[in-house]
């Protein structure tokens, strides 16, 4: 089987590196006849690359090459990746991608198109980098009704939060450090604002719950407002703040999908997921909790997931393996403000009067303390309540200024 790669950036060149370096292991361990890289498409020139003779700038060289059965799309973005992928699948070629934006937007259509053409559209690398998660949800947990899926899906923000927790760096200092180390982009918006994690939780929710969910249906809140004060208060409670993407099934069958800073208790496997690592928890009705942990990004880990998909496409050539999920239904996604949870709250401008009022209104709160606490600062953890009710009650207390309101998870 011959393979092409579209987009020779970090991941694409990593895919080529893994295909070359591990060629013998791959062919032998997977009982393949052959696996050969034939063509690489990129608009840039790579004259001194060891594979310089394989480059093309014309997509048709891949589309019309009947020897090429599997194409790796690592260009990123929706256009023209979507058009390229559609044309390839329509010709019965399988496509493997790490492009979470495209899968989150067009996964439903592309899986259907793959099925119509007895091809495969695979995207293990789109979530959790090198961590096997797509295939385990699709295959290994297929006997479970999945109740919830939640994880640390973005390495950049996890690095920043880890630095805030472990070294007391401010968010801006930690972001600056992450940029210097190459963990954050120059424009870090998609990471910091939770957009990247939002795409990934869409893909996980699609798989776990069987219907396409679009990124604009995800309640998304990034880490921009997390302060060291929050980090300290939460530490005193025996927890850490992590940016968590989660999708949870309600009793009525609808799904709550959100990306937001969340308090994770220290004993959780998610709490000990530090730096650029990712971890994804799947809660099944038979399995209980399982956690998948590893490098969520990086050239070779991501390439390792892409190449595993390539091998799977070769082994399932002419036979669709991935089961398409159903199309989107807007009312499948429920309002997360109605989801009961405990919450961590930090407020300013609290005096004896408003404190008494607050305790009356909410009740059963656990008061937190930190060093050098402001005299008008007050932080606590509530019992179980839905966010709408909590915000309403807090809003009724005159003059109190809410600085943070973060759900406390039970993972």
Active site residues per annotation = 200
**Which of 20, 78, 140, 338 touches its own copies (CB under 8 A)?**
140
Q: Is 87 in the site for its own copies (CB under 8 A)?
A: no
d(CA 82, CA 91) in angstroms, rounded, equals 14
Least Cβ distance, residue 279 to its own copies (angstroms): 8
CB atoms near residue 235 (< 10 Å): 15
**Which of 9, 76, 92, 132 touches its own copies (CB under 8 A)?**
132
Mark 303-332 with x for binding to its own copies (rule: CB under 8 A) and - for no binding: xxxxxx-xxx----------x---------
**Which of 6, 18, 72, 243 touches its own copies (CB under 8 A)?**
18
d(CA 238, CA 271) in angstroms, rounded, equals 10
Q: Is 144 in the site for its own copies (CB under 8 A)?
A: yes
Whether residue 215 contacts residue 193, with contact meaning beta carbons closer than 8 Å, is answered with no
Q: Nearest 5 degrees, angle CA 105-CA 111-CA 112?
A: 110
Task: Name the phi and psi angles at 169, rounded to 5.
Answer: -70, 150
Q: Is 402 in the site for its own copies (CB under 8 A)?
A: no
Which of 56, 274 has the CB closer to its own copies? 274
Least Cβ distance, residue 80 to its own copies (angstroms): 27
Closest residue by Cα to residue 236 from 376, 366, 369: 369
Number of H helices, E strands in the chain: 14, 17
Which of 259, 281 has the CB closer to its own copies? 281
**Which of 2, 22, 169, 373 touches its own copies (CB under 8 A)?**
22
DSSP state letters, 184-212: S-SS-HHHHTTHHHHHHHHHHHHHHHSB-
Beta bridge partners of 95: 71, 121
Least Cβ distance, residue 29 to its own copies (angstroms): 6
For the stretch 21-52, what's the b/e string if a residue is b when 16 or more beta carbons lie within 10 angstroms of its beta carbon? Answer: eeeeebbeeeeeeebebebbbbeeeeeeeebe
Which of 190, 290 has the CB closer to its own copies? 290
> Please, which of residues 186-215 interact with its own copies by CB under 8 A?
210
Stretch that binds its own copies, among 13-21, 60-68, 334-342, 395-403 (CB under 8 A): 13-21
Stretch that binds its own copies, among 49-57, 106-114, 128-136, 240-248 (CB under 8 A): 128-136
Least Cβ distance, residue 332 to its own copies (angstroms): 15
Whether residue 159 contacts residue 245, with contact meaning beta carbons closer than 8 Å, is answered with no
CB atoms near residue 267 (< 10 Å): 10
Which of 227, 328 has the CB closer to its own copies? 328
Least Cβ distance, residue 136 to its own copies (angstroms): 4
169-175 long-range Cβ contacts below 8 angstroms, 24+ apart: 170/228, 171/223, 171/224, 171/226, 171/227
**Number of amino acids touching its own copies (CB under 8 A):** 55
Q: Is 301 in the site for its own copies (CB under 8 A)?
A: yes
Q: Is 235 in the site for its own copies (CB under 8 A)?
A: no
Stretch that binds its own copies, among 126-134, 192-200, 226-234, 384-392 (CB under 8 A): 126-134
For the stretch 77-100, what's the b/e string if a residue is b when 16 or more beta carbons lie within 10 angstroms of its beta carbon? Answer: eeeebbebbbbbbebebbbbbbbb
d(CA 31, CA 140) in angstroms, rounded, equals 22
Which of 9, 219 has the CB closer to its own copies? 9
d(CA 98, CA 123) in angstroms, rounded, equals 6
Mark 269-298 with x for binding to its own copies (rule: CB under 8 A) and - for no binding: x-xxxx---------xxxxxxxxxxxx--x
Q: Is 30 in the site for its own copies (CB under 8 A)?
A: yes
Which parts of this chain interact with its own copies (CB under 8 A)? 14, 18, 21-22, 25-26, 28-31, 124, 130-132, 135-136, 139-145, 210, 267, 269, 271-274, 284-295, 298, 300-301, 303-308, 310-312, 323
């Amino acid at each position: 089987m011959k393979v092409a790669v579209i987009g020779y950036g970090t991941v694409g060149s990593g895919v080529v590196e893994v295909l070359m370096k591990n060629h013998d292991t791959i062919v032998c361990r997977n009982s393949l006849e052959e696996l050969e890289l034939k063509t690489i498409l990129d608009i840039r020139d790579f004259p001194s690359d060891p594979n310089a003779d394989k480059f093309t700038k014309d997509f048709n060289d891949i589309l019309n090459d009947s020897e090429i059965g599997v194409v790796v799309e690592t260009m990123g973005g929706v256009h023209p990746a979507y058009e390229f992928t559609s044309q390839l699948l329509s010709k019965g070629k399988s496509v493997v991608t790490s492009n979470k934006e495209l899968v989150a937007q067009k996964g439903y259509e592309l899986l259907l198109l793959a099925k119509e053409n007895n091809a495969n559209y695979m995207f293990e690398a789109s979530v959790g980098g090198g961590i096997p998660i797509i295939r385990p949800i699709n295959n290994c947990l297929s006997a479970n009704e999945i109740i919830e899926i939640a994880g640390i899906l973005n390495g950049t923000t996890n690095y920043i939060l880890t630095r805030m927790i472990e070294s007391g760096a401010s968010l801006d200092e930690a972001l600056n450090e992450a940029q210097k180390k190459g963990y954050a982009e120059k424009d870090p918006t998609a990471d910091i604002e939770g957009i990247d994690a939002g795409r990934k939780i869409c893909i996980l929710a699609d798989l776990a719950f069987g219907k396409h969910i679009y990124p604009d249906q995800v309640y998304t809140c990034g880490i921009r407002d997390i302060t060291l004060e929050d980090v300290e208060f939460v530490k005193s409670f025996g927890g850490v703040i992590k940016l968590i993407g989660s999708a949870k099934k309600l009793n009525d069958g609808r799904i709550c999908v959100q990306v937001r800073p969340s308090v994770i208790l220290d004993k959780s496997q998610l709490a000990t997921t530090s730096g650029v690592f990712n971890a994804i928890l799947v809660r099944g009705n038979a399995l209980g909790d399982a956690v998948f942990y590893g490098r969520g990004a990086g050239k070779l880990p991501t390439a390792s997931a892409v190449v595993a998909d390539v091998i799977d496409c070769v082994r399932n050539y002419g036979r669709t393996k991935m089961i398409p999920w159903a199309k989107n239904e807007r009312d499948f996604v429920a309002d997360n403000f109605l989801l009961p949870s405990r919450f961590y709250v930090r407020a300013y401008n609290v005096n004896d009067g408003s404190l008494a009022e607050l305790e009356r209104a909410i009740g059963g709160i656990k008061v937190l303390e930190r060093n050098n606490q402001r005299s008008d600062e007050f932080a606590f953890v509530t019992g179980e309540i839905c966010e709408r009710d909590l915000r309403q009650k807090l809003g009724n207390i005159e003059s109190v200024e809410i600085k943070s309101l973060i759900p406390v998870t039970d993972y």
